Structure 1
Amino acid sequence: MLVRGIRGAITIEQNTDQEITEASKELVQILIEQNNIDPETVAQVLFTVTEDVTATFPAKVLREFPGWSFVPVVCAREIPVPGSLPMCIRVLLTVNTELKQDQIFHAYLRDAKKLRPDLTLTNE
């Protein structure tokens, strides 16, 4: 088994609890399904948000997934670099897996596709 990072990002239209929660859930669900992730193999999950995403913690969605209650999760704010993509939620799952780097499915959804078009093209 190797330790690998699985990345993803999604944008939202409005800074509301409901929209942040729904977008975060959609992003994590895709990563779990596409990479066949068992929570027992997850070391940690890191969420970051841009400074305009403040209505709720995206990490709370993991508590809705069966078996994820004991996975360490943290949220942080992105560095506010001028011209960066606004209203963005990013996630990094650190997992133990047999997958090779090029076999991992990374999800960049909505306007976040602009962040890594090279990965988006191979993962759609």
Structure 2
Amino acid sequence: MASVLIADDDIDIRDLVAFKLMQSGHQVTVVEDGMAALQAARNQPVDLALLDIRMPGMSGLDVCRELRAAPETAALPVILLTARSQEGDIETGFAAGADDYIVKPFSPRELNSRVQAVLTRAGR
């Protein structure tokens, strides 16, 4: 299966997402902030990044923009996870380069389906 980077400062969300994706056969790397997510994506090959928008230091939006700006990570699929559900927030997420946007709370089944759909579209 795929290698997925999970970045979320909430340990409960991080653990839930990691557990569900590992159950589906994915390899996961977990980090707790944006800077660590950016470093992990640059230093090890991953097939998908799941980024919380609100993290200390560097937000998921900033990480997404940085990934898109670098040629080596520009094509990396990104899904944003957030409690922010306003239409403007969603537009901002897609404008930053996200491939999908999942609002918390979310169903683990929906998360798995969306991860698979993004990976399939990306040919990974």
Give TM class, smaller chain: 0.3 to 0.5
TM-score under structure 2 normalisation? 0.34
The answer to which structure, 1 or 2, has the higher relative contact order (CA under 8 A, 6+ apart) is: 1
Q: Name the structure with the higher helix share.
A: 2
Q: Name the structure with the higher strand share.
A: 1
TM-score under structure 1 normalisation? 0.34
Q: Determine which structure has more spread, i.e. the larger CA radius of gyration.
A: 1
